[in-house]
């Protein structure tokens, strides 16, 4: 589904060139749930932005179903992003002037879907994410966990092939985090949506199916889940410890 070939990202100043990503290369199969972890400055968010077409690499290529996505012109790229990609951000990115119902519906409204389809999809996802009782409320009336579930419903409403989540639990308490992560896991299991998530937290990462570790702009290692989330959490913690004191920075 997604193939990354020799992706580099550099930022240049008057005197220096800074390498943010260095020869990144990997593949993501359809239906995977991957977490990207690493210390601050490792390049996690930069990589996520390039994979999600928000940013472009300095060199290298990103392929979706065999198509080099960064070769598309702006209009084509916008259409591809609208039809295939969903986003969940740490700060929700909801519009306080719109109801929960309208926030969820917005991507379908922009794509000029029929009112019947919009109503059906909003209600279906509101029930799935447990926010159907709040559809007429406004974001400022919701808790952080409820806001993030609204954001997740909005990300899923166009039935994208892949969801990118950047620290989705970063502003949530432990109960709200668990509720959202269970929703993401169920979304991945039931709808088959591929999820790529950046997180600094081992507990959050343990809900995914594999974890990719980054260090100094490079892919450092990968571990797979197996059948038990608690054992996977322990493996993640053990690996972070082996990286040399980075547990305190990440978890």
pLDDT at residue 250 in the model? 35
Residue 245 pLDDT class (50, 70, 90 cuts): very low
Instruction: Indicate the pTM of the whole model.
Output: 0.89
pLDDT at residue 244 in the model? 61
Mean per-residue pLDDT for 50-56?
Answer: 92
Report the DSSP beta bridge partners of residue 26.
4
What is 2-43+57-250's CATH topology?
Rossmann fold (3.40.50)
For residues 184 and 19, what is the distance between their CA atoms, to the nearest angstrom? 32
CA 163 → CA 14, 78, 157, distances in Å?
Answer: 37, 16, 11
Mean per-residue pLDDT for 221-241?
Answer: 90
- Using the predicted structure, report yes or no on whether residue 4 has a pLDDT greater than 50: yes
pLDDT at residue 14 in the model? 80
Give me the residue spans of the domains in the chain: 2-43+57-250
Let me know if 248 is exposed, middle or buried by CB neighbors in 10 A (0-12, 13-18, 19+).
Answer: exposed
110-130 pLDDT, tens digit per residue, is: 888 999 999 999 999 999 999
**Phi and psi at residue 17, in whole multiples of 5°?**
-120, 125
Average confidence score pLDDT of the chain:
90
Q: pLDDT > 90: what percent of the chain?
A: 69
Residue 247 pLDDT class (50, 70, 90 cuts): very low
Mean per-residue pLDDT for 48-69?
Answer: 92
- Using the predicted structure, report yes or no on whether residue 40 has a pLDDT greater than 50: yes
- Using the predicted structure, report yes or no on whether residue 246 has a pLDDT greater than 60: no
């Amino acid at each position: 589904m997604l193939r990354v070939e020799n992706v580099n990202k550099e930022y240049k100043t008057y005197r220096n060139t800074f390498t943010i990503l260095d020869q990144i290369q990997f593949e993501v199969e359809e239906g995977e749930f991957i977490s990207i972890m690493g210390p601050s400055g490792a390049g996690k968010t930069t990589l996520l932005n390039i994979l999600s077409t928000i940013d472009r690499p300095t060199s290298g290529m990103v392929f979706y179903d065999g198509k080099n996505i960064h070769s598309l012109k702006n209009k084509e790229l916008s259409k591809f992003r609208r039809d295939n990609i969903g986003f969940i951000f740490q700060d929700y990115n909801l519009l306080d002037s719109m109801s929960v119902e309208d926030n969820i519906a917005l991507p379908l409204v922009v794509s000029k879907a029929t009112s019947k389809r919009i109503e059906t999809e909003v209600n279906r996802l509101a029930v799935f994410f447990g926010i159907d009782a709040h559809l007429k409320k406004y974001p400022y009336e919701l808790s952080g966990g409820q806001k993030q579930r609204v954001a997740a419903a909005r990300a899923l409403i166009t039935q994208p092939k892949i969801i990118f989540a950047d620290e989705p639990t970063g502003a949530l308490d432990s109960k709200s985090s668990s509720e959202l992560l269970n929703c993401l896991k169920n979304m991945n299991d039931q709808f088959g949506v591929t999820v790529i998530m950046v997180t600094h937290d081992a507990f959050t990462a343990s809900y995914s199916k594999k974890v990719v570790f980054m260090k100094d702009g490079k892919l450092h290692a990968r571990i797979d889940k197996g059948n038990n989330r608690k054992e996977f959490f322990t493996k993640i913690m053990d690996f972070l410890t082996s990286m040399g004191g980075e547990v305190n920075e990440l978890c």
